Amino acid sequence: MSDPRARNGRPTSRDVAQDAGVSQSTVSLVLGGKWHGRVSPATARAVQETADRLGYRPNAAARNLRLGTTRTVLLVVPTLTAPFFGSVYIGAARVAARHGFGIVVYPPDDARPAGPAGNPAGSPFAVPHEAIDGIIASSMTQQALSGFGGTPVVMLDSGPAAAAPTVDFAVEDGMRAVVAHLAALGHRRFGHVAVDLDEWTFQARGEAVADAVAALPGGVLDRAAGSIDVTSAKEAAGRLLDRPVPPTALICDDDLMAAGAYKAARARGLDVPGDLSVTGFDDVQVAVAIEPELTTVRLPARELGEQGMSALLDLLEGGRPETRPLPVELVVRASTAPPSTAPPRT
Amino acid sequence: MSDPRARNGRPTSRDVAQDAGVSQSTVSLVLGGKWHGRVSPATARAVQETADRLGYRPNAAARNLRLGTTRTVLLVVPTLTAPFFGSVYIGAARVAARHGFGIVVYPPDDARPAGPAGNPAGSPFAVPHEAIDGIIASSMTQQALSGFGGTPVVMLDSGPAAAAPTVDFAVEDGMRAVVAHLAALGHRRFGHVAVDLDEWTFQARGEAVADAVAALPGGVLDRAAGSIDVTSAKEAAGRLLDRPVPPTALICDDDLMAAGAYKAARARGLDVPGDLSVTGFDDVQVAVAIEPELTTVRLPARELGEQGMSALLDLLEGGRPETRPLPVELVVRASTAPPSTAPPRT
DNA sequence: TTGTATGCGTTATCAA
DNA sequence: TTGATAACGCATACAA
């Protein structure tokens, strides 16, 4: 016997064929939906019925092997604990569904499978071992991209310098809009609460803030970095607030960090926005959960997913997808106001 | 020619064999890591080198077909926009990795693929068509479970009545602890801001609150339902607060809803916790992002994922996994205090 | 209208 | 120590 595995209880198309008294190819034809004019309606109906009765479900591995395609793409995201990526998924899944594709999500997080037992780590087996046609990688560092082999990849929110087709946000526009808004309110002394991650989007945000403030007569910028959580952001914001001449506005790289900035302000008896203006970035749920509601930059996450999937589809068909940065939108809410001390007159 | 598809540029083990001047089975042995004592070290090294040089990656579909197993399980979650499920994933992925399994996430959300083009909707092809060994379904309604065919399933947070092995939280204990905490503070008039979803966990929460309040001398309970978002929760809480005799404590089914309750209170000039106590459930990020920080019930999400994966592994090996509800923990923070008006003395 | 034969790329058995 | 060979389940070209 050369059959090493326990024969799974699942019926095969052969079983269906046998039970229905037809050949396996007929079953394949019928269940594949391409029997019209090739199989008699009566036979087709019979086959369909036996398949249902037996609870037949095609073996995906066999089908994939035969077809050479899985109509499945992998969405790789840096984390699942940020609601942002849920929206990216929804956008991508919608477009995918329209083309008969499925999407699975693969968050590297901290727990990568080691590959099938018995294989040395670092072997080609160590990468996600699902059968997929392509990959959409969102907001990853460049180095995280290694190991995808020859699989077609579209990168999201990873900057124009990426080694693959990419869809980006116009984050620079967003930061410029933030600074302009704050400047119009009268602010000149800014603090940038930055994310301490080596990803394009945060670097771009940082540079845009620096440039915009530098271009502002009398503008001065201070900066502190932290990780994307409330406590770390509170500390970073606190450092800025404790300077001899503190900023009158805190520009945060992320909405959650803005919540931390609120806390730093409150701990120092500062009112937001009366004594300190605060802005966020992303416009996720938390922006309207905190009080006062946050002035922030809305990132069209769903659209990012849509465009990313479209680009990948294009790529899979041999095209060379071209994309433009997605426009972002400043959402002014209640966390920004004129500074309490008059700005220095020039 | 019976090869309908474009031969993908990817090298096969045959290519490697040819290039290395050995047979395909030798390549398989070497790359499979089981060549010790069966292939000469020199040959093994040569094969390994050619494989690397050619960038060989094994075809997952073929391997899956041959092995009859994919060492991949599907984690099905109701949504990806709630950070809770990110933690569930991490837990499951950790356990999976230890056993050489991978996990992909499948959020049904609103965008299901329609199945390969040409197949009638509702056919067996309409389900997630990846090749997987098992399914972990978290916090789903019972009906969403249909269509999984004969694939082994473990359900998470879906109640003991589920038609499959299940891992649950002791949510009733959590709600009892909340009511006890509030009662000890002196509260007697409670409002339950409930989630308007037909999932076990919310039903259990509602019943536990009702029972606990009923068991409390002088306890009265009011109730309003809404969806899991700030605005809806604010409205629901507002309805409770506008009663002729409003509650002195609002028990929310979810942390995000508690944020909405804060807003309803603030809109009515009520101080939290001075005039109104508020509690949440889940203990996700937002609980410490809002002010005052939220008294809530911590759900060990990661552990849920771990236990779920362990149970599935057990199931896949033919076992009958037994699990106990996971203990939850009341986390007292700053949103609860004695009621401002003395409780009615009995 | 239906059945037979073939191959997808891999792993495992067996013979050399 | 190595190579030929079969089989996994399916979709298709082709023959009947």
Is residue B343 situated within a structural domain? no
Closest residue in B to A101 (Cα) is B113
Q: Is the domain of B294 the same as that of B313?
A: no
CA nearest neighbour of B194 among B155, B144, B236, B244: B236
Is residue B200 situated within a structural domain? yes
Is residue B330 situated within a structural domain? no
Segment among A193-202, B39-48, B101-110, B311-320 with least mean pLDDT: B101-110
Closest residue in B to A60 (Cα) is B131
Cα–Cα distance for residue pair A166/A145, rounded to 1 Å = 13
Can you give the pLDDT at residue A127? 45
What is the average per-residue pLDDT within B61-68? Answer: 90
Q: Is the domain of A312 the same as that of A244?
A: no
Number of domains present in the structure of chain B = 3
Q: Is the domain of B209 the same as that of B264?
A: yes
For residue B59, give the nucleotide whose C1' atom is nearest its CA. C9
> pLDDT grade, residue A110 (50/70/90)?
very low
Query: Are the CB atoms for A225 and A252 separated by under 8 Å?
Result: no
Closest residue in B to A49 (Cα) is B123
Is residue B334 situated within a structural domain? no
Is residue B339 situated within a structural domain? no
Higher-confidence position of A111 and A278 = A278
Can you give the pLDDT at residue B78? 86
**Count of A-B CB contacts under 8 Å:** 249
Mean pLDDT, chain B, rounded, equals 87
Is residue A255 situated within a structural domain? yes
Mean pLDDT, chain A, rounded, equals 87
Q: Is the domain of B184 the same as that of B290?
A: yes
Residue whose CA is minimally distant from C14 C1': A2
What ranges make up the beta strands (E) of B227-298?
249-252, 277-279, 296-298
Residue type present at position A202: F
- Report the predicted TM-score, pTM, of the whole model to 2 decimal places: 0.88
Segment among A176-190, B92-106, B123-137, B193-207 with least mean pLDDT: B123-137
Kindly report the CATH number assigned to the domain that includes residue A100.
3.40.50.2300
Q: Does residue B231 have a pLDDT over 90?
A: yes
Cα–Cα distance for residue pair A337/A344, rounded to 1 Å = 16
Can you give the pLDDT at residue B7? 47
Cα–Cα distance for residue pair A327/A173, rounded to 1 Å = 8
CA A11 to C1' C16, in angstroms, rounded, equals 38
Choose among B61, B263, B266: nearest Cβ to A131.
B61
Is residue A63 situated within a structural domain? no
Residue B30 neighbours by CB distance under 10 Å:
24
Percent of chain A past pLDDT 90, that is, above it, reads: 65
Q: Is the domain of B161 the same as that of B175?
A: no
Q: Is the domain of B44 the same as that of B28?
A: yes
Segments in B56-154 forming alpha helices (H)? 60-67, 84-98
CA nearest neighbour of A307 among A133, A150, A88, A100: A88
> Which structural domain range is residue A105 located in?
68-168+302-324
For residue B63, give the nucleotide whose C1' atom is nearest its CA. C10
Higher-confidence position of B67 and A333 = A333
Q: Is the domain of B279 the same as that of B243?
A: yes
Choose among A62, A113, A259: nearest Cβ to B101.
A113
> pLDDT grade, residue A109 (50/70/90)?
low
Q: Is the domain of B139 the same as that of B176?
A: no
Task: Give A20-56 pLDDT, tens digit per residue.
Answer: 999 999 999 999 888 888 899 999 999 999 999 998 9
For residue B116, give the nucleotide whose C1' atom is nearest its CA. D11
What is the average per-residue pLDDT within A255-272? Answer: 98
Q: Is the domain of B44 the same as that of B143?
A: no
Cα–Cα distance for residue pair B209/B216, rounded to 1 Å = 11
Q: Is A263 on the interface with B (CB under 8 A)?
A: yes
Segment among A318-322, B272-276, B298-302 with least mean pLDDT: A318-322
Kindly report the CATH number assigned to the domain that includes residue A41.
1.10.260.40
Is residue A270 situated within a structural domain? yes
Q: Is the domain of A142 the same as that of A231?
A: no
Interface test with A, best of B50, B72, B105 (most A CBs within 10 A): B105
Q: Is the domain of B164 the same as that of B182?
A: no
CA nearest neighbour of B11 among B43, B44, B54: B54
> pLDDT grade, residue A144 (50/70/90)?
low
Q: Is the domain of B86 the same as that of B164?
A: yes
Buried b (16+ CB within 10 A) or exposed e, B182-218: bbebbbbbbbbbbbebebbbbebbbebbbebbeebee
